[in-house]
Amino acid sequence: MIATLRSWAGLGVAERGARTERREGEIALGRDQTHGAPVRRGGAAVECLAGLVWVTFEGDPADHVLAAGDALVVGRKGRLAMQALEPSRVRVVGRGQGLAASRQR
């Protein structure tokens, strides 16, 4: 379950690498830029709006590559890390809100 859309600042994102362009609830990453964020209790989802993003989640043995329209749903708290494999835009939503993405991984 996914909740209300929150800005990255609301999720406590810790920026890594170069400065990024932000819109409410979205983050734009340049090629090879990285971002990390703690996921609060209840989980969250990462939705790739454009580009190609590598995503990993603390305690998950699998890594995930999300293309535009893909989403990764995590159902517990932990640390999320991502890296843009090409210029990308992503959105993170908290538990309870549906995703616009047509495919989920």
CATH of the domain at 77: 2.60.120.10
| Mean pLDDT, the chain, integer | 75
Residue 70 domain-assigned (yes or no):
yes
Residue 102 domain-assigned (yes or no):
no
Residue 100 domain-assigned (yes or no):
no
| SS3 category, 64 | strand
Residue 105 domain-assigned (yes or no):
no
Identify the domain containing residue 47 by its residue range.
2-95
27 in Cβ contact with 35 (< 8 Å):
yes
Domain count, the chain: 1
**Which has more pLDDT, 98 or 63?**
63
**Which has more pLDDT, 18 or 32?**
32
Whether the pTM exceeds 0.75: the reply is: no
Residue 91 domain-assigned (yes or no):
yes
Q: Rounded to an integer, what distance in angstroms lies between the CA atom of residue 83 and that of residue 35?
A: 7
Contacts 24+ apart (CB under 8 A), 9-18: 11/37, 11/38, 11/39, 11/40, 11/44, 11/92, 11/94, 12/37, 12/38, 12/40, 13/37, 14/38
Residue 4: the pLDDT is 27
Average pLDDT over residues 92-103: 54
